[in-house]
Structure formats: C-alpha cells, structure tokens
Chains A and B, each alone.
Chain A
C-alpha cells in the first residue's frame, strides 16, 4: 500500500511539476491574473465602494455572494457538529460520580452516583479528569479576555481600512470565549454563552448577511446590491456600499464567533456539555 501510494504520489507530483513549465513566472506583473480582472478592482474599488482595503471590497461587495455562502459553510459546519455529536438523553449524560471543590479550603468532595450534591455556593463542580486549581492562569485570563474581545471588535470594525474583517474578528472573539472555557471550565463558559445563544446567534449572523441582501432585493435592486440601501442609510450610493459592507461584516463576525464557540462546546465535551478540556 505504501509503495503504491508513494509511486502514485511521485507520478502525480512529477506531472504537476512538469506542468509548471507553462506557468507565468512567479511575481510576473504581466501575467494574466495580474492584468485581466484584478486591475479593475485595484483602480476602481475606492471610487466604486469607498473602501480602501481592496480585499474587503472584493470580499464583501464584488464577490459578496461567495462570502455569503462561505459564512453559510461555517454555519453548516457548526450545525453538523451539533447534529452529529450532541447527546440529548439524560441517562446517557450522567457520569458515574461527581466531584466538587470546596473553594475556601481547596478540599475535593467525591459524590457517588445517587448522592446529594452540596448546595452551598462555596462548592464548585469540577471535572474528574483535570482538577488543579490554577489561580494564576484563571486570573490572567480574566484580565486579558476583555482586551482580546475589544481587539476582536476593532478588527471587525476596522476591516475597511486595515487587514481584518468579520472572519478574523469573529475568530478572535470566539477564541476569547474558548480561552475562558479552557482556563475555567466548560460549564462556566456555557453559563456565559449558552447553547441556545450560540445556535441562534450563529444563524442570526448569516441571516443578517442574507437579510441585507434580500433587503436590497426588496428595494428593487439585485440581491446584495448595497447601493439600493442608500435611502435607508441616508447617504449616497457609494457610501451606502461601504456601510452595507460594514453590516455584513458584523453579521459574519457574529456568525463566526458563535460557530467557533459552538463547535468547541460540542467537540470538547463529545456532545455532553458537562465537562470538557
């Protein structure tokens, strides 16, 4: 098997390397990709969409329809993880024993199946697999998470002028929540942003994008033609495109953040949402 694989891979690679002989040179400013469609974007993007970051302009406007489905892909992946992994029945979910830490003393109680859980809020439930009480990690993450989230918002909002946008910002926001889940535990993260919130936000993010497109359709223009939104925004058609891009970037950010968090919940706890990494 290995020999066959190696031989076929070498053959395939050989053909592909032979094929590169006909390519335009690397970095050639006269190659077809550099001279056919893309110059229009570079030369006209600011005039047509009022967005100086051309990648953002192409991503969210010229080829906004691709990006809509790109967000839909993220949504379907999150939905697929939920669909495949989530455990719904109570009996499958309950673990054999439960552990509680008494916070003031650090003593750990083990409650056997059927035992009564301690009611005082001095106890916190902990995972059986990973129990150290990491005060330094917990405190540090508590301190930096707000700044991570602020940076995420900046990346979403400043995508018009610098590298960034909904996907990058959404991932940063989502990672801040995943960091919280890692440093505390999964239950506390779910307490902050529950499953319903992540699922509905994830769909709502894509819905903002597609809805903005459909709104253009209702205003009489083609799908995703943000220029039609200018009466709503109260600006001219060019500025409306820029604002429309901002709206969809916010939708993308929302969808990506919730999708990341939601995928993490399901993967880390194998669908049980009880304990995770």
Chain B
C-alpha cells in the first residue's frame, strides 16, 4: 500500500465527501465522523509521505498507470509534503473545533456543509500534490467553488462578498489557466517536470515571459496580494465563523505554495531572478502590501476585519520573502507558510470562540473578556504575540529569517516594512488586550448580552483545540530550527544561496 501514499490524501477525502452526501442524507449524524475519519487518514498518509520523502527522497505517482508527459503525475518532495501536513493538520483541528458551531449555525445544512468542506480540503491537498499544471487548475476550481459556497452562506453582506469573491477568484483562476495555455502553446506539454525540461529552450521568447506574468497575476489575485486583495477582507469577515475558521488559514498559504512551485520547479530559479530580474520589483510590491495591509488593519474596529487585513499583510511577508531570492528569505517564506497557517488558525479560532458568547465583534464589545473567557483570550494573546513576532512563539523565527534575508539582499525597504508591520500589530493587539483586560465588564452602551456572570467560556470542544493550537505556536517556535535543518533546506534548490 505504501507506494499509493501520494494518492491517498486526495482520494480518501474525495470518496468520503461523496459518502457524507450518500449516507448523511439519510443519517445526518454520520457526516461529522466520516469527515473526521477522512481528514485523519489524509493527515496520517501525509505524515507517512513526509517520512518517505525524508528517508528516500522525492516520490512520484502516475495516475491511471500512465507515465508523466502523457498521464497526470503526482509529485511529492520536501516542500509540498511540509505544506500538506500543515494544511491538513489545520483543517483537522478546525474541523474538530467547529463541530458545535456548525451544529448551531447550520442546523439543517450539516450534510452539505461537511461535504463542501471535505471537498475543499480535497482540492487543496490536490493542488499541493499534483505535478500537472492543468490538473492544478481543476483542483483549484474544486477548492474555490466550495470556498465560495462556504463563505456566501453567511448572513448580512456575506452573499455579496461571496459574489465579489467569485468574480475576482474566477479572473484569477482564468488568468492562471491562460498562462498555462501560453506555456502549452510554446512547449506542447502540461506536466511540470516536462515543462521544466522544455522551457529553457524557449526562455528568450517573450511569450514565455508573458505566460509567467499572466500566471503570476492570476495567483496574486487568488492569494490576495495587496492591490488585488479586494475580495478577501469582506469574504473572511462576513463569512460564518465556522467557515472563516476553516478557510482563512488555508487558501492564501496554498496559493503562495503554487507561486513558489511555479517559480522554482516549472521555471528554473534563474529565469525569474536573473533573466526576467523581477525579484526586486515584486519585493517592493510586497513592501506596499505589508504597509497597506497593516495600515488598513489599524483603521478597522471589528475583530474579524482586523484579522482579515492582517492576513493581507502576512501574504506580503511571504511573497516578499520569497522574491528576495536568497536562501534566508525563502526559508523564512516557507517557514512562514507553516507558521502563518497555525497563527491564523489560532486567532480566527479564538475570535470564533469569543463570538460564541458575544454576537457583535466590535472591539468595544470585548470589554472584560479576559475575566469572562480567560482561556480564549489567552489563546488570542498567544496568536497575537506570534503575529507580532515575540521570541518564544513561532512568528518570531520566521520573521527573523525574513529580516535576515532582507538584510542579506540589501533590501532595507522590506526590513523596514516588516518592522513597521510588527509595530502596527503591537498597537492592534495591545488595543484589544487593553479593552479586554482593563475595561470592566458590562460597561458601555448597548452590550446587554455581556451578562455579568464571572466565567462563560466557549464550549470545551472548541476550547481544547484552541489551547492545543496556542501551545503549538510555542512548540513550533522551539523546534523551528529543526524544521529548517531537516526539511525546509532541502525544499530550496541548491543554486540559491
């Protein structure tokens, strides 16, 4: 069975999503256990895959038994095995934590909710594993379509936000498709490894450059890179909290992975960094993204809006770090994919936990929450400290790599932007802590829901995973050195120093 490991993280969730519909239609209670089992198996096989990659190097798998240029091949190496584990683990924790939430928010819609969510994870896992550029597009659409639905189900402005997300997301995905079409026109192949072999011969063609830019633009839309981020804040903050907990940590990270894959594997690194020489320009774009994302976060007065804009700024970190083009920057960027998945999960989960007790997420509504929900607020604090980059938490280490990459590349604008963003995050989170810690409970106007009962924590099923994630932030931080030396350093091509 072990030779089939690369296929399992995709096939098992897919089959389970169908089972959830077929069985859950008659017995809705079954849908959660099936989803749980599917994601657990997927996560275990991802861990197994990582073990195999560590012991015997990259692995390939030909779907349908066909060899690569003709069939679709899956390809696993250090980079995607790592991101796969992060994504599946985040999805699994999110799934467990939101069980109660989902039951309350989607009373009759449990079956379609879990079907769509498991399909969403299937799509993301497929994007991470596939070695075929067109297959990636199909899986991207699986992940996006289910994501649109999960976001659009919310109340108030969510359908409108979902519709905007569809329009922009479709433009993004179609641009990617068009870019792949240009590459196909120039090389005649869709397989990533085959593309990598045939592309260097046509590097001087401006069609290839155009294809690269078109793909990159499409991915920038999908990952909400600053000027193209329009869809993200509304989509994530108006989505029901179960959906935003599940989606927010995953989508943007996976799209950043696709960008890294495209630049490093489909094209060779010297094409992007030497022949086109666009690294510097994109890092400057990332600087703008970080500064604007942080500034816009500062202007918000609702918790989930703030967190959404922080996600926009974090995308800037990862894009910028990658395009610095040196080993430290790329290490920081890849490490930050993992860390940011955990951090985003932590803060959105904490926000979701708080929102089970208060209906309004205006900051003023958080008064006295430290006393009312000490553990949830402590977890939010841990997430906040990690986003700021305070030493024992993992956020510090990836930021350290990013900053040292910036200094090494002599790109002080990027370093300054990172420091600025940390400063803004300090202001943001301490404003939250101040309101939640120092201002007494129940004062202010119109917060009659904050009854003066001393403790009213979120349900345990949500609290336990939240605490685990908060602890994980520190554990990830302590072991980030091992993570880099054992995995990430092999994910970056040797010619990059």
Partner-B contacts on A (CB < 8 A)? 15-16, 19, 21-24, 31-38, 40-41, 61-66, 68-70, 72-73, 75-77, 79-80, 82-84, 86, 88, 196, 199-200, 202-204, 206-207, 210-211, 213-214, 217, 221-228
Closest chain A residue, CB of each to CB of B3: A222
| 17 residue pairs from A and B, CB less than 8 Å apart | A23-B207, A32-B185, A33-B188, A69-B139, A70-B138, A75-B18, A76-B146, A80-B112, A80-B116, A86-B109, A88-B107, A196-B25, A199-B21, A200-B21, A206-B14, A207-B15, A224-B65
B134 close to A (CB within 8 Å) = yes
- Among all A-B residue pairs, the 9 with the closest Cβ atoms: A36-B188, A225-B65, A80-B149, A32-B188, A203-B21, A83-B112, A22-B207, A65-B63, A88-B108
Chain B, residue nearest A223 (CB): B7
With a CB–CB cut-off of 8 A, which chain A residues contact B152? Answer: 84
Supply 6 further A-B pairs (C-beta < 8 A) apart from A76-B116, A79-B149, A83-B112.
A31-B185, A40-B69, A66-B135, A199-B21, A207-B22, A224-B64
Q: Which of B84-136 contact A (CB under 8 A)?
A: 107-109, 112-113, 115-116, 119, 122-123, 126, 132, 134-135
Residues of A within 8 A of B17 (CB): 72
Q: Is the Cβ of A65 less than 8 Å from the Cβ of B112?
A: no
Contact B62–A222 (Cβ < 8 Å): yes
Number of interface residues of B (CB under 8 A): 60
Taking a contact as CB atoms closer than 8 A, the residue among B25, B141, B188 that contacts A37 in the complex is: B188
Hey, what's the 0/1 contact readout for B1-22 against A, CB within 8 Å counting as 1?
Answer: 0001001000100110111011
In the complex, chain B residues whose CB is within 8 Å of the CB of A19:
182, 206-207, 210
CB within 8 Å of A: which B58-93 residues: 61-66, 69-72
Minimum C-beta distance from A225 to chain B (A): 3
Contacting residues, chain B, for A70 (C-beta < 8 A): 138
A207 to B63, CA, bound (A): 17
For the complex, give the distance between the alpha carbons of A213 and B198 in Å: 31
B369 part of interface (Cβ distance < 8 Å): no
Which B residues from 154 to 187 make CB contacts under 8 A with A?
A: 159, 182, 184-187
State A21–B186 Cα separation when bound (angstroms): 12
Interface centre among B15, B66, B134, B205 (most CB of A within 10 A): B66
Contact between A223 and B11 (Cβ–Cβ < 8 Å)? yes
**How many angstroms from the CA of A21 to the CA of B63 in the assembled complex?**
36
* B41 part of interface (Cβ distance < 8 Å): no
Complex: A221 Cα to B66 Cα, angstroms: 11
Shortest beta-carbon distance from A191 to chain B in Å? 19
In contact, A222 and B149 (Cβ under 8 angstroms):
no
- Contacts of B206 on A, CB cut-off 8 Å? 19, 21-22
Closest chain-A Cβ to B205's Cβ sits at a distance in Å of: 5
Q: Indicate if the CB atoms of B134 and A66 lie closer than 8 Å.
A: yes
Inter-subunit contact B149/A72 (CB<8 Å): no
Given A84-B152, A200-B22, A214-B15, A40–B63 Cβ distance below 8 Å? Answer: no
User: Does B142 have its Cβ within 8 Å of any Cβ on chain A?
Assistant: yes
**Chain B residues within 8 Å of A32, by CB:** 185-188, 198
Interface membership of B189, Cβ < 8 A = yes
Chain B residues closer than 8 Å to A221, beta-carbon distance: 65
B145 at interface (Cβ–Cβ under 8 A)? Answer: yes
- Chain A residues contacting B142 (CB-CB under 8 Å) are 69, 72-73, 76
The answer, among B22, B112, B138, for a CB contact under 8 Å with A82, is B112
Chain B residues closer than 8 Å to A36, beta-carbon distance: 69, 187-189, 198
At the interface, yes or no: B231 with Cβ under 8 Å from chain A? no
A195 and B276 CA atoms in complex are apart in Å by 54
Instruction: Give complex CA distance A125, B146 in Å.
Output: 36
CB distance from B139 to the nearest CB of A (A): 6
Query: With the chains together, A37 CA to B11 CA distance in Å?
Result: 27
A-contact 0/1 string along B195-235, CB 8 Å cutoff:
00010000001110010000000000000000000000000
On chain B, the residues within 8 Å of A83 by CB distance are 109, 112-113, 116, 149, 153
B148 at the interface (CB under 8 A from A): yes
Residues of A within 8 A of B182 (CB): 19
Distance, CA A118 to CA B447, complexed state (A): 52
* Known contacts A61-B64, A80-B145; A210 and B15 CB within 8 A of each other: yes
Give complex CA distance A204, B188 in Å: 35
Contacts of A15 in B (CB 8 A): 210
* A8 vs B40: C-alpha distance when bound (angstroms): 47
List the A side residues contacting B19 at CB < 8 Å: 207
**Minimum CB distance partner of B15 in chain A:** A210
Q: How far is the CA of A204 from the CA of B25 in the complex (A)?
A: 12
| Closest CB in chain A relative to B176 CB, distance in Å | 15
Instruction: Give Cα distance in the complex from A68 to B18, angstroms.
Output: 12
A226 to B66: give the CA distance in the assembly, Å.
11
- Which of A22, A24, A70, A211 has the most chain B CB atoms inside 10 A of its CB? A22
Q: Are B4 and A62 in contact (CB under 8 A)?
A: no
Nearest B residue to A63, CB-CB: B72
Do the beta carbons of A69 and B138 come within 8 Å of each other?
yes
Residues in B whose Cβ lies below 8 Å from that of A225: 64-65
Residues of chain B lying within 8 A (CB to CB) of residue A41: 70
Indicate if the CB atoms of A227 and B65 lie closer than 8 Å: yes
**Complex Cα spacing A220 to B46, Å:** 20
CB <8 Å contact, A79 and B11: no
CA distance A38 to B188 in the complex (A): 8
**Pairwise interchain contact B115-A79, C-beta atoms closer than 8 A:** yes
Decide if A207 touches B146 in the complex (CB within 8 Å): no
Residues of the B chain whose Cβ atoms lie less than 8 Å from the Cβ of A199: 21, 25
- Residues in A neighbouring B11, C-beta threshold 8 A: 210, 213-214, 217, 223
The answer to whether A23 and B134 have CB atoms under 8 Å apart is no
Q: Chain A residues near B15 (CB, 8 Å)? A: 207, 210-211, 214
Of the candidates A38, A72, A211, A222, the one whose C-beta lies within 8 Å of that of B122 is: A72
Residue in A closest to B119 when the chains form the complex, CB atoms? A76
